[in-house]
Chains A and B, each alone.
Chain A
Amino acid sequence: MPKLTIDGREIEVAQGSTVIQAAEQLGIFVPRYCYHSGLSIAGNCRICLIEVEKFPKLQIACNTPVGEGMVVHTKGDNVEDGRRAVLEFLLANHPLDCPVCDQSGECDLQNFYLNFGLYDPRFREHKVKKNKAVELGPHVMLDQERCILCSRCVRFTDEITKTGEFGIFNRGDKAELGIYPDDVLDNAYSANVVDICPVGALTERDFRFKARVWYLSSTPTVCNGCSKGCNIDMHYVLDRPHLNDGARMVRVKPRYNANVNEWWLCDEGRYGLGWIDKDRLTSVRGPSADATWDDALSSISIALKQSGARIGVIASAQLTNEELFLVRQVFGKGLGAQVSAAVPEQPGTSDDFLIKADKNPNTAGATLMGLAGDGASDASQIVDDACAGKLDALWVFGHDLAALFGEEKARQAADKVSLLVYSGTNENPTAALAHWVLPSAAYVEKDGTFVSCDGHVQRIGFAFAPLADSREDWRLLLQLAEKLEQPFELRAPQDIFKALTEAEAAFAGLTYATIGTHGVGLATEAAAP
C-alpha cells in the first residue's frame, strides 16, 4: 500500500492504482477526456497532466502508477500551462459549432476551456473537414469533426458490450472515428457511448435538437423498464411547452450506482418512457359523461361495500411498495377481497448484464407483500372466478386483461361483474371495457420505493406533478379507504412506508433517509428473493 502526497494531502492507496484514482479518493478532480473509471486506461488525450516532484516533465495522472513517497501537484501554473497547450491542440481542428451542438452546455471542451484554457487561438490554417451528422445506428449520431479521438467509445464497445463496432481510422490529422464498413451501432447498450463521449461527437438521435441542455431539470429516479432497477436521472422541461411537442420528459441518463448499474443503462430502458407523455388518461370516466373523482370514489365505495368479499383485485408489480401495501390493507385485509399481482409472465428479452426478462420493476416487492410468487393467489384464478360469475366487482391496476388472458376472457369477465374499475396511466383495451376508469399518475409523478430483483430497495423520487386530473395510486387508495370508513392515519408515501416497515419484517428499520438516492439492501438477508 504505497503512501503518496497529492496537493499536500497524504493518502494510502492500493498497489497498482494510478494517480488519478488516488486523487479521486481525495476528492481532487483532475481534468480528463480519455480516462473513464469504467473502462481500461488509454492515456491518449494528455489533458490530465500533473506535476510529480523529481520527475523531469509533467506526467499524465491517469496512467502514472502511484509510488511510495510520491509528491504530486495537480494545480499550479506549470500544470495549467501544460493542460492549456494540450487543449489548444485538441481544439485545433474542432469546428467550434457549439451553437448547433447538442452537447453544448455539458461539454468538457467548453468546461475546461473556461476553467483553464482562455488562450487566444493561434491556429491560422484551414481546419480539416470531416463528415458531420452521420447516423451510426438507431440511437446515435456521429460528428467526426467534433471528435477528439479519446477512444472512450471504442473501448466501451470493445470491453463492455464486446461488440466492437467502433474504430479509429487513418493517421495524423486525418485520423477519424467511425464504425466498421457495413456495421450498424445497434447493440442493446449503444446509447451509453453518448454519455461517455466527453465532447459532442456522439449525440443522441432521440434528443437531437429537442432542447438545450441548460433548459433541463433533473430528478434522480430508478428505471422501471425491468426488475434490475437501474439508477437514472430523469431530465425534463416544464416551462417551454413549444419544445419536444409539449412532452415534459426529454431524456434519461444513467446515474452511477456501484451496486446496480454502475455507469450504464440499456437502450430499452432509456427510450422506453415515451408513455409518460403520450396517450395518457387525463380524466375520470364513468357511467355519466361529467364524472368527477368524488363521484367515482363514492359510487365505487358503495358498490364495493355491497359486494362484500366477492371482489377481485389484480394489482401490478408496476406499483410501488407503498401502494401494494395499501392495496393489501384496503382490499385484502379490509374487504376480504382476492388480491393478486401474479399475472402471467410476458415474454421479454434478457442478458447477463443489465437487462432482465421480468419487465416489472417491483416484482420482488409484490412477492415480499405476498401478492406474487409462491403461495400468492393467481390473477388468472381471479379472472376465471369473474368469468364464472363468482365475483361482483373487479379492480384492475394498469394491466391489459386482453393481452394477458385473451380478448374473449376479458370481455366475458367485464360482462359478468357489475363493477369493473380500471386504474392506470394509459389508454388500453381494458380501460375501454371498464365501468370506471381512474387516471393514475405515472411512476415519476409520485414518490415511493421499488425492490429490485437483487433485493435492493430504491426510492423512485418525484420529478413532476401528475398530468391533468390523474392521481397517485396511493392517494386514491387512501381516499377510497376513507370512503369505505376504514381510514388510515397516513398522509404521504413516507407515512405509508413507515407503516409498511412496521408490518413487514423484510423492510424493518428502513426509512427514506436511509434509502437515500442509491438504495439499500433489504433488512433481512433471508427475505431477499
Chain B
Amino acid sequence: MATKVVRRPELTFWEKLYLPQIYCGLKITFRHFFKNLGLHIAHRLGRLKHLRASITYQYPEELRPLMSRYRSRHRLTLRDDKTPRCVGCMLCETVCPAKCITIVPGEHPDPHVEKYPIRFDIDLGICVYCGYCVEVCPEDAIRMDTGILDLAAYSREAMRLDIHELMDPELRKPVNDCSLTFPHTCKVHGGDMKGSWDGIAKTAD
C-alpha cells in the first residue's frame, strides 16, 4: 500500500499559549450544558416545547424508539395454525439484490395453499436491508418490523437465520430445540428434514 505523508499543521503562538484553548473548548461544552438545562426546565414548565433538548438513552438497557417505517431484522408472518404465511413464490429471493435469501419450496397438504417453504434462510451477513423482499411479497409473509438491531455474532454461520428464528423473533441464538410441527429443514437438525403435518389443522375441505 502506498504511504501518504500527512503533515500536521504547525501550532500558532496563540494556540501554544494553551490556557486560552482550554477556555474556548469549555465555552462550547458549557454553552450546550446550560442551553439543554434551560430547555429541560422550560419543557417542565410547559414552555418552549418547539425547541428540542438533547437527552441520553441508556443503551442497551433503554432502547431508542424506532420510526414505524424503520427496517429492522426480518420475520416471517404466521397463519392461525402457526405455519408460515409464505407460499414459497421466491419473489423475494428473485428481487434480493444481495442474494441473501435461500428458499426451498415444498408441497403443502392443502391444495388451496399448495406451496410452502421447507427451507427459508436469510444470511444477515450479506443482507443490505433494502426492504425489497417486504415490498415484493404478495402474501405479506415477510416483514422487517421486529425492531431487532443487535445482530452481532461471533461467526458468519451465526449470521444465517433459518426458519425458526425468522418465524419467532423472540428466539435467541443458539436455537437448540425445534418445535415446528410441519416438515422443514433446519439448523437444529443439521439441515435435515424435521416435523410432519400431523396435528396441523387442515383447511382443506
Contacts from A to B (Cβ < 8 Å): 97-100, 104, 131-133, 208-209, 212, 214-215, 242-243
Contacts and interface: CB of A to CB of B under 8 A. Distances in A.
A242 B111 contact: no
A145 to B, nearest CB: 9
Contacts of A99: 87, 89, 91, 115, 138-139
A100 B94 contact: no
Given A209-B88, A212-B90, A212-B94, A100 B115 contact: yes
B48 interface: no
Given A97-B114, A209-B115, 9 more contacts: A99-B91, A99-B115, A99-B139, A100-B89, A131-B111, A208-B107, A212-B89, A212-B94, A242-B102
A99 B89 CA distance: 5
26 contacts: A97-B114, A98-B89, A98-B138, A99-B87, A99-B89, A99-B91, A99-B138, A99-B139, A100-B88, A100-B89, A131-B111, A132-B111, A133-B111, A133-B114, A209-B88, A209-B106, A209-B107, A209-B115, A212-B89, A212-B90, A212-B94, A215-B94, A242-B102, A242-B104, A242-B119, A243-B104
B112 interface: yes
A32 to B, nearest CB: 27
A99 B93 CA distance: 13
Interface string B68-94: 000000000000000000011111001
Contacts of A215: 94
A511 B87 CA distance: 49
Nearest to A145: B112
B105 interface: yes
Interface of B: 87-91, 94, 102-107, 111-115, 119, 138-139
Nearest to A245: B104
Q: Pick the most buried of A97, A99, A132, A242: most chain B CB atoms within 10 A of its CB.
A: A99
B17 to A, nearest CB: 66
Contacts of B104: 242-243
B163 to A, nearest CB: 13
Contacts of B107: 208-209
A157 B139 CA distance: 37
Nearest 7 A/B pairs, CB to CB: A99-B89, A133-B111, A100-B115, A132-B111, A209-B105, A100-B114, A99-B138
A205 to B, nearest CB: 10
Q: Pick the most buried of A98, A208, A212: most chain B CB atoms within 10 A of its CB.
A: A212
A521 B183 CA distance: 53
A215 B89 CA distance: 12
Contacts of B87: 99-100
Contacts of A212: 89-90, 94
Q: Pick the most buried of A98, A215, A242: most chain B CB atoms within 10 A of its CB.
A: A242
B62 to A, nearest CB: 41
B195 to A, nearest CB: 18
A104 B115 CA distance: 14
A510 B182 CA distance: 59
Contacts of A100: 87-89, 113-115
Nearest to B103: A242
B46 to A, nearest CB: 52
Nearest to A95: B112
A133 B107 CA distance: 10
A209 B113 CA distance: 13
Contacts of B112: 132
A238 to B, nearest CB: 14
A131 B112 CA distance: 9
A132 B108 CA distance: 12
Contacts of B111: 131-133
A226 to B, nearest CB: 32
Contacts of A131: 111
Contacts of A208: 107
A97 B90 CA distance: 13
A192 B153 CA distance: 51
A243 B106 CA distance: 11
A204 to B, nearest CB: 14
A132 B107 CA distance: 13
B162 to A, nearest CB: 12
Nearest to A97: B114
A58 B51 CA distance: 69
A180 B66 CA distance: 60
Contacts of B89: 98-100, 104, 212
A216 to B, nearest CB: 12
A290 B111 CA distance: 51
B133 to A, nearest CB: 14
A323 to B, nearest CB: 38
A214 B113 CA distance: 22
A215 B93 CA distance: 10
Contacts of B113: 100
B161 to A, nearest CB: 15
B103 to A, nearest CB: 8
Nearest to B90: A212
A179 to B, nearest CB: 17
Q: Pick the most buried of A104, A132, A209, A214: most chain B CB atoms within 10 A of its CB.
A: A209
A132 B114 CA distance: 9
Contacts of A97: 114
B94 A214 contact: yes
A495 to B, nearest CB: 39
B122 to A, nearest CB: 13
Contacts of B103: 242
A212 B89 CA distance: 8
B18 to A, nearest CB: 63
Contacts of A243: 104
B19 to A, nearest CB: 66
Nearest to B106: A209
Contacts of B115: 99-100, 209
B182 to A, nearest CB: 15
A243 B91 CA distance: 14
B141 to A, nearest CB: 10
A453 B175 CA distance: 60
Nearest to A105: B94
Contacts of B119: 242
B66 to A, nearest CB: 30
Contacts of B106: 209
A512 B138 CA distance: 47
Contacts of B91: 99
A251 to B, nearest CB: 16
Contacts of B94: 212, 214-215
